[in-house]
Amino acid sequence: MGRITIKNVSTSNITIIDNSITPRYRVVLPPGREVPIKRENYESLTFDPGFNNLVSAHFIKISGLTNDNAVEIIDNSNIYEPSAIEAMFDNKDYASFAKFLPKATTAEKDAVIEIAVKKGITDNGFTVLIKKYCGVDIIDAIALQHQTEGSMQ
């Protein structure tokens, strides 16, 4: 039986709490952090709708489950971590981005917006898709960020 882990694959801090586990289970996951979890704690969390929403929205990724010991096998193959999104921007991989974004979850769309603003992405091939599927005009968001940074100095 492998080690079960939970990894935060979003760009936000995630807190997982389960009061039904004794002692109370609480873990704070900053972006990119991965922690092991006991099988019984994982089984308890699978009954929590909030935990299941974090998994299905691709905020967290579960690893270490096998057919032998899984309560439910979770397909992590279509989860895009921030590093994969950054690579699409860096490599100007319009084709992959265009395939990914229409099926992206809320967490992945949030990551796209945050990374695009951070990197100052103004390439029309990306900004049009982001506006269409995320509802955010990245050029305006970048301008707003520059204005707020300028007013803070």
Rounded average pLDDT over 46-67:
87
pTM for the full predicted model = 0.74
Domain ranges of the chain: 4-63, 82-152
The pLDDT-based confidence of 77 (bands split at 50, 70, 90) is: low
Q: 152 or 64: whose pLDDT is higher?
A: 64
Residue 72: the pLDDT is 55
Q: Is 126 exposed, middle or buried (0-12, 13-18, 19+ CB in 10 A)?
A: buried
Helix runs in the chain, H state only: 39-45, 49-56, 82-90, 94-100, 106-119, 124-134, 138-152
* 82-105 per-position pLDDT tens digit: 999 999 999 999 999 999 999 999
